[in-house]
Amino acid sequence: MPSPSSPSRRFIAGPLIERQLRRLTQHKYNACGSSLLEIVMQPLWRRLLCLVPMRAAPNALTLTGLAFNASSAGLMLWLCPDARQNPPAWLCLYAAAALFSYQTLDALDGKQARRTGTASPLGELFDHGCDAANTLLLCLCVCIAAGFGEEPHLLLFMIGAAQTVFYAAHWLGYNSGRLQFGLVDVTEAQAAAMAVFLATAFAGVGVWDLQPAAGLPWLRVRHCLPISTVLASAPLVCRLTVSVATPGGLSVAGSGRLGPGLAWLALSLLSAAAAGAAVSTGALHRHPCLLAFALGAPAVKTCQRLIIAQMTRSSIRTLDLCLVWPALLAVGIGVGHWWLGLTEGQVGWGVSVAAAADCAVYSGRVCRQIAAYLGVQVLRIS
């Protein structure tokens, strides 16, 4: 990567201002802690790194892994659009293999960057940005494999909780300047998702309807997933609460620590309004996965905006274009059927496409802008 004074440094217009780009060049990756499974998996990842060609760009590894998961999510949504069907065993096995591929390639990209001497802030941003998108896609796959379409409110909760945990982890990094990994973290969550896929592949989706406790007739095996999500995220929530509540505490931007919370709160309130409209009209029961994606895509962009704010040591704006999409979804579902003559499915598809395009265009513009400023290429080794 060129030095800050390199003549190849070039500013082009985009979402970031030049001050943010200058600060980005000063960013150093800072993380602490290792999860239990990560310690076990590291020897395997080091061995697999030897199989990666030296000419392979680290970001290309990350994007390839995301493409695997996106393909499994697309197939799941195509064959099980309302998460109430029994997904084919081959598809569940493919989803498990795709997730393992993503996990492996995501672990190798940083090692490949150091191995080839191409480590840069763009690589870290690209990695975490893909993680934000993968959180939504993976949660949709898990919810379909576990038959959450029977309880669509829990499907929304699962996706919202997973994205909130992801956001909270980076909010804590925004406050402290360092990402903190716990004993139970991303690697364990991905392993649990693989277990869900394998269970459905060999036992069928009906296994998630079983009652694990005779004295609790309302409890189903699938309920263990949201319960375990809440329990596993409790330590992170406690650390974040202490960080935000510390008197006089400042973020990496030198400002207060509540800024990311306001951005997430604004999105959450609008998403709750859209979810309420979907529940009251029955649209959530008829189109659970479609509406979950429409609400999850704006959250992906908000997570990416926080990651950029952390790496550029700048504040995150509360207002953003992504807030328009849940608002449109709420209005479209509530009155679109008689005001605009649109069906719930048409509203859901329209908002989903618009929100995904907004996120993709934003990500592409940021990557192009940073690559030009650093004098590097996004998917190739210069």
Domains of the chain, start order: 33-210+222-374 (1.20.120.1760)
Q: How many CB atoms lie within 10 A of CB 177?
A: 13
Find, among 42, 205, 27, 47, the residue nearest to 120 by Cα.
27
Does the pTM exceed 0.85? yes
Specify the 3-state DSSP secondary structure of 179.
Answer: strand
> Which of the 8 DSSP states describes residue 219?
-
Q: What is the pLDDT along the chain (382 residues), one digit of tens a residue?
A: 444 444 457 778 889 999 999 999 999 988 887 889 999 999 999 999 999 999 999 999 999 999 999 999 999 999 999 999 999 999 999 999 999 999 999 999 999 999 999 999 999 999 999 999 999 999 999 999 999 999 999 999 999 999 999 999 999 999 999 998 888 899 999 999 999 999 999 999 999 999 888 778 889 999 999 999 999 999 999 999 999 998 888 889 888 899 999 999 999 999 999 999 999 999 999 999 999 999 999 999 999 999 999 999 999 999 999 999 999 999 999 887 667 788 899 999 999 999 999 999 999 999 999 999 999 999 988 7
Catalytic positions: 128
The token pair at 255 is 């400002």
Pairwise CA distance, residues 102 & 22, whole Å: 31
Tokens 């390639």 map to which residue?
A: 105
- The helix (H) or strand (E) run that includes residue 270 is helix 259-281
User: In degrees to the nearest 10, what's the CA dihedral of 288, 325, 256, 311?
Assistant: 90
Specify the 3-state DSSP secondary structure of 3.
Answer: coil
Q: How many CB atoms lie within 10 A of CB 58?
A: 28
Count, residues in the chain:
382
The angle formed by the CA atoms of residues 195, 198 and 202, to the nearest 5 degrees, is 140
Phi-psi label, residue 49: left if phi above 0, alpha if psi -120 to 50, beta otherwise: alpha
